Amino acid sequence: MDQDNTAKLATLRELLESGATTVNVDGVSVTIDLASVRQEIRRLQAADSVQRNRRPVASRILTSGF
């Protein structure tokens, strides 16, 4: 999983704000469930908030092999 979901969130928010329910890509029509988009935005925001509260790993000490 990406540690920073900023780009994904921006794309999903743009899609949600447009209000589009169908998208044509290379001649293929795709139906978008806006409720699912909202749910994915909440999931990504929750994942980002959890990640922000974690301290970065600066180093690891491996004690196996002694």
Query: pLDDT of 5-64, one tens digit each?
Result: 888 999 999 999 999 899 888 999 989 999 999 999 999 988 887 666 666 666 777 777
pLDDT reported for residue 1: 45
Q: Name the one residue in this structure whose structure tokens are 């988009």.
A: 37
- The tens digit of pLDDT for each residue in 7-20 reads 899 999 999 999 98
Q: What is the pTM of this model?
A: 0.64
Cα distance between residue 55 and residue 22, in whole Å: 41
Strand ranges, E, within the chain: 22-25, 28-31
